[in-house]
Amino acid sequence: MGEKRIGVAVDFSVGSRAALQWAIDNVVRKGDHLILVTIRPEGDSEAQLWETTGCPLIPLSELCDAQVMKKYGAKPDSETLDIVNLAATQKEVVVVMKIFWGDPREKLCEAITNIPLDHVVIGNRGLGKLKRAIMGSVSNYVVNQSSCPVTVVKHASST
């Protein structure tokens, strides 16, 4: 089968941690690459440098480095870092992060093509029907536009 590139959309919320844990428990296998895809708002300082392609792949060792994360405007929480460190050790997977700037719907779809990813796992914010209709659903957009399989994981508080 060979190694796969499994992308997980992370924003360091409860929902994205649930999606990350689900991906590790159900999709990620030994030798795979687990790629954390983070989307930052437009206008960040690094955005102009990496606007089209996103930042370079950030290895796990640098995800724990506050200076490196500050450079990109990302603030990984300790729980997310614990989850990926454990997965890297126990499942023997390569963990990296890729940060994009802009609209999450469009940038996640671009990540699928540009990295490229074999499977994407995304959390669900649990918006009600009215809010979802007004704001739009990132997960719904990605499911409908993606060129690879997408799994949407609902966390307990959104049911």
Determine the structural domain holding residue 152 and report its residue range: 5-158
pTM of the model: 0.87
What is the domain count for the chain?
Answer: 1
The three-point CA angle 89-9-123 to 5° equals: 105
SS3 121: strand
Q: What is the DSSP string of 12-43?
A: SSHHHHHHHHHHHHHT--TT-EEEEEEEEPTT
Task: Give the pLDDT of the chain (159 residues) as one tens digit per residue.
Answer: 458 999 999 999 888 999 999 999 999 999 999 999 999 887 655 556 677 788 889 999 999 898 888 888 888 999 999 999 999 999 999 999 999 988 889 999 999 999 999 999 998 865 555 544 444 578 888 988 889 999 999 866 544
What's the CATH code of the domain at 38? 3.40.50.620
Rounded Cα distance, 156 and 23, in Å: 16
Residue position matching structure tokens 């990350």: 20
